[in-house]
Structure 1
Amino acid sequence: MSDLFFLKSGRLNVQVSPRGGAIRGASYGGIDALIAAGGPQGDMASFPLVPFGNRVEFNQFKVGDQIHRFQPNSTDPLYLHGDGWLREWQVEAWDGEAIDLTLRQMPDHITPYDYTAQQRISVAGDTLRLDLSVTNMAADPMPFGLGHHPFFIRTPLTRITASVTDCWSERDGHLPGEKDALPDDLNLAAGSALPIRFVNNAFGGWNGRAAIDWADLGLAAEIDTTPHHNVLMLYAPLDRQDFFCLEPMTHLPNGHHVTNLGGLALLHQGMEIHSCMTIEFRRKARG
């Protein structure tokens, strides 16, 4: 079976791979909007965050009296981004406008998590839609969260707007530190260009909507999440100026070590949570 499945609707073209359940590229009107820049081989343009996103401090967490432990699953010393991006998903259906994928993850020497995940990637009109769900299969309750990790093209005039209210600093281990006001050079609530510095911060109080404007490309995108993902991660490396990541998440990174689990949902056996993200593209006059 081919490693790539193609989705097309009007001016929107998307390539999907079962490896990592990942989008390998997405273009709109001939412009590469999501570019291959992430994942173990650097060829993923977006991947699912399941059973949660980002890192877990100490590679362990506690539920009740039970301590659960991880082993590192990438070059990072901390367990990172869950399992979905590193596993082969099963293709259940594909018709050129949508693809359905499933993943069965069982506990192993890397992770204590036991779950099934479902993903549907679809295109309609000018909109790319990502549906993701996860069901706890373990006998014991476990904390779960969902999210998406898209790699957007970055240009000199890229501008991002999102209704966020605060921002967490970054501490050692790329973990969230103190919550503070929005940075002067990255006030997403007012609309902001990307500063020429390393950015890897979680933004809170988000209403689940964001806008990206590429004035120099004549392209814009509207992001919407249902149910609302309260945390928006923004990652922009300094050593690469060709992409940035705007990552909707249902929880705060390292939520396993935060009061009230930082938005993670404690699921008992058979319980599930759902996530939906849409990206609607449109052409505009060049700025």
Structure 2
Amino acid sequence: MIELTRGENQIGILPGLGASLSYWRLRGRDLLVPTADPNLRAQQDTPVAAYPLMPYSNRIADARFSFEGQDYELAKNIVGESGSIHGNAWEHAWTVIQQDPDRAILLYDHDPSVGENAKEWPFAYRGVISFVLLDNGLNVELLIANRDTRAQPIGMGFHPFFVKAANSGLTFQAQGVWENDAATLPARHAAVEGEWDFASGQKLTERRIDNCFSGWADRAVISYPEDGYEMHIDADPVFQHLVVFTAPEKPFVAVEAVTNMNDAIHHPEVLERGLHVLKPDQRLSGVIRYKVVERRG
């Protein structure tokens, strides 16, 4: 693990475990919940607090897809499910290419010609992640470049496990929400009304959500009224979607800024699915900004 510090702001990074964060601590307060998921084999049952999603976010149904007339079959990297999830960058060691006291840049090169790598993703790409500490926040910049000789479909995002307190609330605006089928795949696009409307904020304690919101307005706020602070999440426009996961029995809420809708590769009929087709040497990048706003003291 490498550690970055700026004043009372600290993060721990695990380069050997998918460039994951092991913690984020500000003024002695833990902002993330390290979480071990035995169903994600590559994390080796190690608790992680956040990790990058490349070269796609969320699930690809049945771990297979077709692109430009070619059929591809992927490895199933989540126990108990028929699909593949969150790409493969989180499954590999990353190289630290720059480290300063309060910032670090890490790189991962995916080569499908090596071993079984083609089963993880059939195209060559380079992933870069930059962590930059601020006095009251953290900036995460994601970049993915097509290093293949062919075009490839690309998506990306970041998956933090934020603390969920007794009265935590979540506020954001979006244009729609994807309701899921039994396999947690998008089945119906619905309006953000009633239980799906978070524009004025909703409490998280009893909610069970594992859905992708479309047309996200690039701002979300998690409130902690008893603890006197808010977590503000802002992202560049490339992150058009927001995935939210929370459950009553879990001590965290995952609020994930991502480029693509879940299973985007299988939904060419959706104009705003957020799937980017990169030609050789093209790249996609964006910054997600996390800021702690104190509401008392």
TM-score by length of 1: 0.93
Q: Tell me the alpha carbon deviations over residues 180-215 of structure 1, each in whole angstroms, 9 at most, x when there is no partner.
A: 122523421121111514210111121111111111
Matches within 5 A, 1:7-86: 7-18=4-15, 19-38=17-36, 40=43, 41-75=45-79, 76-86=81-91
**Residues of 2 paired with 1:9 and 1:17: CA distance?**
18
Question: Is 1:277–2:288 an aligned residue pair?
Answer: yes
Cα pair distance change 1:262/1:38, threshold 3 Å:
farther
Matches within 5 A, 1:193-232: 193-194=203-204, 196-232=206-242
Q: Is the 8 A contact 2:168 2:205 kept in 1?
A: no
**Residues of 2 paired with 1:285 and 1:185: CA distance?**
30
Q: Which runs of 5+ in 2 are unaligned?
A: 38-42
Q: Tell me the alpha carbon deviations over residues 94-129 of structure 1, each in whole angstroms, 9 at most, x when there is no partner.
A: 112011100011222333131111111110211201
Aligned letter for 2:14?
S
TM-superposed CA distance for 1:219, in Å, is 1.6
Q: Tell me the alpha carbon deviations over residues 72-110 of structure 1, each in whole angstroms, 9 at most, x when there is no partner.
A: 123143111001111100011111201110001122233
Matches within 5 A, 1:1-287: 4-18=1-15, 19-38=17-36, 40=43, 41-75=45-79, 76-107=81-112, 108=117, 109-182=119-192, 184-194=194-204, 196-240=206-250, 242-259=251-268, 260=271, 262-285=273-296
Q: Is the 8 A contact 2:5 2:133 kept in 1?
A: yes
SS in structure 2 at match of 1:85:
helix
**Residues of 2 paired with 1:272 and 1:207: CA distance?**
23
SS in structure 2 at match of 1:117:
strand
TM-superposed CA distance for 1:7, in Å, is 1.3
**Residues of 2 paired with 1:170 and 1:29: CA distance?**
39
Select between 263-272 and 39-48 the one with higher mean Cα deviation. Answer: 39-48
Aligned letter for 1:205?
G
Identity of aligned residues (%): 23
Q: Tell me the alpha carbon deviations over residues 244-281 of structure 1, each in whole angstroms, 9 at most, x when there is no partner.
A: 10000111010000125821101111111002101011
TM-superposed CA distance for 1:282, in Å, is 2.3
The two structures, once aligned, show a CA RMSD in angstroms of 1.7
SS in structure 2 at match of 1:256:
helix
**Residues of 2 paired with 1:195 and 1:124: CA distance?**
30
How many residues are paired up? 282
**Residues of 1 paired with 2:205 and 2:98: CA distance?**
42
SS in structure 2 at match of 1:224:
strand
Aligned letter for 1:143?
P
TM-superposed CA distance for 1:69, in Å, is 1.5
**Residues of 1 paired with 2:96 and 2:139: CA distance?**
17
Cα pair distance change 1:103/1:36, threshold 3 Å:
same
Q: Is the 8 A contact 1:165 1:189 kept in 2?
A: no
Cα pair distance change 1:136/1:79, threshold 3 Å:
same
**Residues of 2 paired with 1:149 and 1:106: CA distance?**
24
SS in structure 2 at match of 1:118:
strand
Aligned letter for 1:243?
F
**Residues of 1 paired with 2:5 and 2:198: CA distance?**
31
Dislocated runs of 4+, deviation >3 Å: none
* Residue of structure 1 in register with 2:40 after alignment: none
Q: Is the 8 A contact 2:151 2:280 kept in 1?
A: yes
Aligned letter for 1:11?
E
**Residues of 1 paired with 2:170 and 2:134: CA distance?**
24
Q: Which runs of 5+ in 1 are unaligned?
A: none
Select between 205-214 and 72-81 the one with higher mean Cα deviation. Answer: 72-81
**Residues of 2 paired with 1:42 and 1:236: CA distance?**
20
TM-superposed CA distance for 1:11, in Å, is 2.8
**Residues of 1 paired with 2:100 and 2:82: CA distance?**
40
SS in structure 2 at match of 1:156:
coil
